[in-house]
Amino acid sequence: MEFLEVPLFDDDIFKLGVRFLLDVFFLILVVSFAVYPHDQKRDFTFTVVMMNVMVFFICFTLKKLDLGLGMALGLFAIFAVLRYRTDAIKAKEMTYLFIVIGIAVINALSNKKTSYVELVAVNLTVVAAAALMERFASRDRLRQHTLSYDRLDLLAPHRRDELLADLKERTGLDICKVEVARIDLRKSSATLTIDYYIPKPSKPDTGPAKE
């Protein structure tokens, strides 16, 4: 059955499902045992997962197309836009930009060989993955902040414990990681990047029940 000369359904949807499950299986292994233990900021995990999902679907959808040199260069130019920016853009925002560009490319360049069921499945999976990863990232208790620090004597590697203790005492934050971003010897100060945990919200104490 066809609609506007495009099949509503074909057997490639099963290939799509099997290959995507295989891709997700190994993606979970990489994220669980390599990415997340090393960098526990869930924004980066969001970026890794969504980049993988978008590249998979773009490649699967476009493999049915006979792309000429001009079209291939055009696609390269589209994704090169990700590098064109005047202000720094966070990795998560860049990922969303990549997602919307990828969805546009998939939906615009799919031809008669791609059924409507495949297109709907691809788009729904991308949206669902983004929503799930967004919810996962929103529960992250790890935050990052940049601050100016005046005690250069504590920046030596062997005094890292003292540095952490001093920062915790002065900021009141549960700091778990410190990186030196910049040192200004003229001002005797340094710019530090700290990672810290935010406390879990405590449940309100309702007190003893009244009789």
CA distance 150 to 98: 40
Q: What pLDDT, on the 0 to 100 scale, is given for residue 196?
A: 80
| Closest among 67, 64, 66 to 75, alpha carbons compared | 67
CA distance 2 to 113: 11
Q: Are 180 and 190 in contact (CB under 8 A)?
A: yes
Share of the chain above pLDDT 70, in %: 57
Identify whether residues 172 and 96 lie together within a single domain.
no
Q: Which amino acid is at 69?
A: L
Identify whether residues 127 and 147 lie together within a single domain.
no
Q: Does 211 reside within a domain?
A: no
* pLDDT tens, residue by residue, 85-105: 545 556 666 767 677 767 766
Q: Does 110 reside within a domain?
A: yes
State mean pLDDT over 164-177.
84
Identify whether residues 41 and 129 lie together within a single domain.
yes
Q: Does pLDDT of 189 surpass 50?
A: yes
Q: Does 204 reside within a domain?
A: no
Q: Does 210 reside within a domain?
A: no
Q: Does pLDDT of 79 surpass 70?
A: no
Q: Are strands 142-149 and 174-184 parallel, antiparallel or unpaired?
A: unpaired
| Closest among 77, 176, 62, 80 to 122, alpha carbons compared | 62
Confidence of residue 111 (pLDDT cuts 50, 70, 90): low
Query: With b meaning 16 or more CB within 10 Å and e meaning fewer, what string describes 181-190?
Result: eeeeeeeeeb
Q: Does pLDDT of 159 surpass 70?
A: yes
Query: Which domain covers residue 32, as residue numbers?
Result: 2-138
Q: Does 54 reside within a domain?
A: yes
